[in-house]
A and B are shown apart, each in its own frame.
Chain A
Amino acid sequence: MSKTKSETKQSAEPEKVRIYIMGSRYDVPTGLTIMKAMEYAGFKITRGAGCRAGFCGACSTVYRKAGDFRIYAALACQTPVEDGMVLTQLPFVPAPKPKYKIDDLRPSANSILRYYPEVARCLSCNACTRVCPQEINVMNYIQDCLHGKLAKAAEESFDCVQCGLCTIRCPAEIPQYHVAMLARRLHGKYNIPTPKYLEIRVKELEDGKYEEGFQELMTIDKKKLKERYTTRDFMDQKKGGGDE
């Protein structure tokens, strides 16, 4: 396979930290993210890397620090290594998602409990919140679901990247990130109204109102098209015009 350019522009600085990847010792340059440190150490990642930017939840990692009994969790692509870190990635979270017909549900606590009865088992231990790399109050939104407060649950869980760390830690065995998904969909579908103008525009398009105009735009010569473009009016925004 062809080689591509290395992601890091700078060559490694001499300063190194010692980390333990699944128990084995590696010395890696300071300042690398956990993901880049693993690659530096020689791991060709297949599981455990997705977007590499903190959005996909593929690289959830659990670790301990030297002299600290606590267990920490993070996204490997967003977290710098520290000296003495003992870490492993979670390749997968076994949490199958039940199937439902969103059109047949109501935005209520019962809809959630029907598919996730284990929500009622929440012990309020808050281990989920502590492990969340997105700093979401996971337990709070689970409780909100239980109380039927879907708007609050949708808002609180919104930044979830579905890494599944909460689910792995939960003593009540709740798949929180799936629960949140259902809560958001119920809220988005049933509680947020659809603006009239959207319906109107869709109807116009279906009725072919814009066909003729499109034909014209698609066939006029480039010069005229450019003119239409450069002379189009800008609304809403302030447009340049100062002499800076």
Chain B
Amino acid sequence: MKLIGGYTEEMRRSIDNVNKTRNKRRDQIIADLTMEDRKIVLDQFHPDYNPKYKRNISWGPNKGDNVPNEVADVLESYPIINPNDIDLNQIDYDVGVLIIGAGGAGTNAVLWAKYSDVPKKDILLVTKLRFGDCNSVMAQGGIQAADRLEDNPYIHYLDAIGGGHFENKPELVKALVGDAPKVIKWHKELGVNYDCDDDGNFVEVPGGGTSRNRMHCAKDYTGMEIFRTLKDEAINQGIPYLEFSPAIELLTDDSGRVTGAILYNIETKRYFVVRARVVVMATGGFGRLHVGGFATTNHYGATMDGVVMAYRAGAKLRDLDSTQFHPTGAAYPEQIVGLLVTEKVRSLGGQVLGKDGIQICYPLEPRDVEAASLIKICTTTHNYIETPTGMRGIWLDSPLIEELKGKGTIQQNLSAMYRMFKRFDIDITMDPILVYPTLHYQNGGVDLDSNCYSSIKGLLIAGEVSGGVHGKNRLMGNSLLEINVFGRRAGITAAKEYRKNSIPRKLTLNHVHNTMKALDALNLKPKKYAPIILPEYRSEVVKDRLIQLYEQLS
């Protein structure tokens, strides 16, 4: 296939339209949708509102909740261990605070537990892959904080709760927006390099659904810059951590209080028993479930493990009916389909265009509305662009940014995006980007209060694994904020619990036995197993011929 600057000849013809209309569009502003129109497009085109993607949960604390099939599958899965095989008498790690998940929220939690005077030997951070294999490092666009004089926390509150369709838990939104400036100040003290002018004033840009420019960013590596600094600091603080050792079940005592976890070393395949006075669950989201068959922006380990472990232990969930599809995932080239094209491209002025080069909607609607609008064009009109593999997409006019903000803006502010496409010979300063919505974020999750307590004793919650902060839809820049706000709060609460609680007397897997009993009664077929730990991407040709020789020995 002949490619010119990375695109096919047919795509080039449509790009000509984009180039031709650019001057006319330059200052053209397309109206955003009214609340009524938003509802219509969501009802018709957002996967959340499509009943064929969903069903009711059949057991447990949230029995009857309507959630995506893939989420229900996981919640209705059997444990991957036989609880009778596990020897709970030998404790491998006896600690005060166990933090599951070494992403943004977990790393915040260990730091603040340490700052709150938990001795480092009494903290243990465990994670599925490496320290820092998480969605936090992939967050490109920015982090919201209402710090400028013309902005204030109330406005941030309104933006967040309106974006979440007024379904967010108010105390969580208050915590989110109220802690935001403190988070940024702390980051500055740690040495995070936010974009700023010569006087240190932050460069703050808008995001979808925000009514002020309050997105603090570090080029388009914001999450990476924040996270690597936190990780550096956690290592400086000498906090012990275990990599490649995901938790696969929680442990409880007779009263149902969480008292530790079972870890599984995915390299050596042995398990470890951890006893802890308090457990923080910060395992992230579910992108790798590929809800609705969508590609995802998420990292390799985003398989909803934390939600299912907590659910089996009796924790209440909320808002899992809603899933965030990022409006602009890459739709071309094939190698990077589904990867994130940051919202910052639109924040900086990128417009969303059909095949004819005409704007199709206001580019900075809340994410669900924007995504639904794109799906609408691709499914009900002919104004989409088709790729050689049959995927449909919409143009995102990145070259317009250079016209609006000056030459070099893209390489300076969107260097990750520039580099990602350049690897496939596409120059986004010259040509538009083809996009289609992609599975981005788990809006709901384990219920929590503003001090990160879940509905069960001994278990704290922070980050994407939680539900309630964002209601039914999260705004750009509120997830990097969330991991910092609630990770910090979880660490502080964990320190309190650490001092309050005595060493747990009993470790059981009662709740796992109970889960199996409940599932047996439902007689579900085929049986599924979770936590999934890592998604399966091996090809059918190989999977059809797999045998597990070594595993059969035991």
Query: Which residues does A use to contact B, with CB under 8 Å?
Result: 1-10, 12, 31-33, 36, 39-47, 49-56, 58, 78-80, 97, 99-102, 134-135, 154, 158-159, 161-162, 181-182, 184-190, 192-195, 197-202, 205-206, 210, 213-214, 217-219, 222, 225-226, 228-230, 232-244
Contact across chains for A234 and B211 when beta carbons are under 8 A apart: yes
Which residue of chain B has its CB nearest to the CB of A185?
B191
Q: List 23 A-B contacts (CB under 8 A).
A: A1-B533, A2-B529, A3-B536, A9-B295, A9-B389, A36-B335, A39-B537, A46-B244, A47-B244, A53-B339, A54-B339, A78-B336, A97-B235, A99-B236, A102-B191, A102-B236, A135-B419, A161-B224, A185-B232, A230-B35, A235-B213, A237-B364, A240-B31
Which B residues are CB-close (under 8 A) to A99? 235-236, 238
Contact across chains for B31 and A243 when beta carbons are under 8 A apart: yes
Contact across chains for A54 and B419 when beta carbons are under 8 A apart: yes
Bound CA span A151–B549, Å = 56
Which B residues are CB-close (under 8 A) to A58? 129-130, 133
Contact across chains for A198 and B184 when beta carbons are under 8 A apart: yes
Instruction: Indicate which residue in A42, A186, A243 contacts B538 across the interface (CB closer than 8 Å).
Output: A42
Contacts A4-B535, A181-B232 given: A189-B191 contact, CB under 8 Å? yes
Contact across chains for A184 and B191 when beta carbons are under 8 A apart: yes
Is B87 on the interface with A (CB-CB < 8 A)? no
Which B residues are CB-close (under 8 A) to A198? 147, 181, 184-185, 188, 202
A77 to chain B minimum Cβ distance, whole angstroms, is 9
Which residue of chain A has its CB nearest to the CB of B213?
A236
Contact across chains for B415 and A159 when beta carbons are under 8 A apart: yes
Query: Number of A-B pairs whose CB atoms are under 8 Å?
Result: 293
Contact across chains for B190 and A185 when beta carbons are under 8 A apart: yes
Which B residues are CB-close (under 8 A) to A193? 199-200
Which residue of chain A has its CB nearest to the CB of B129?
A50
Contact across chains for A242 and B29 when beta carbons are under 8 A apart: yes
Which A residues are CB-close (under 8 A) to B158? 217, 225, 228-229, 232
Which B residues are CB-close (under 8 A) to A188? 188, 190-194, 229
Is B430 on the interface with A (CB-CB < 8 A)? no
Contact across chains for B138 and A41 when beta carbons are under 8 A apart: no
Bound CA span A243–B130, Å = 51
B residues 218-274 near A (Cβ < 8 Å) are 218-219, 221, 223-225, 228-229, 232-233, 235-236, 238, 244, 266-267
Is B81 on the interface with A (CB-CB < 8 A)? no
Bound CA span A109–B170, Å = 48
Which B residues are CB-close (under 8 A) to A232? 155, 158-159, 162, 211
Instruction: Indicate which residue in A39, A55, A161, A243 contacts B539 across the interface (CB closer than 8 Å).
Output: A39
Stretch at the interface among B72-80, B106-114, B486-494, B515-523: B72-80
Is B83 on the interface with A (CB-CB < 8 A)? no
Contact across chains for A54 and B416 when beta carbons are under 8 A apart: yes
B460 to chain A minimum Cβ distance, whole angstroms, is 22
A148 to chain B minimum Cβ distance, whole angstroms, is 16
B53 to chain A minimum Cβ distance, whole angstroms, is 13
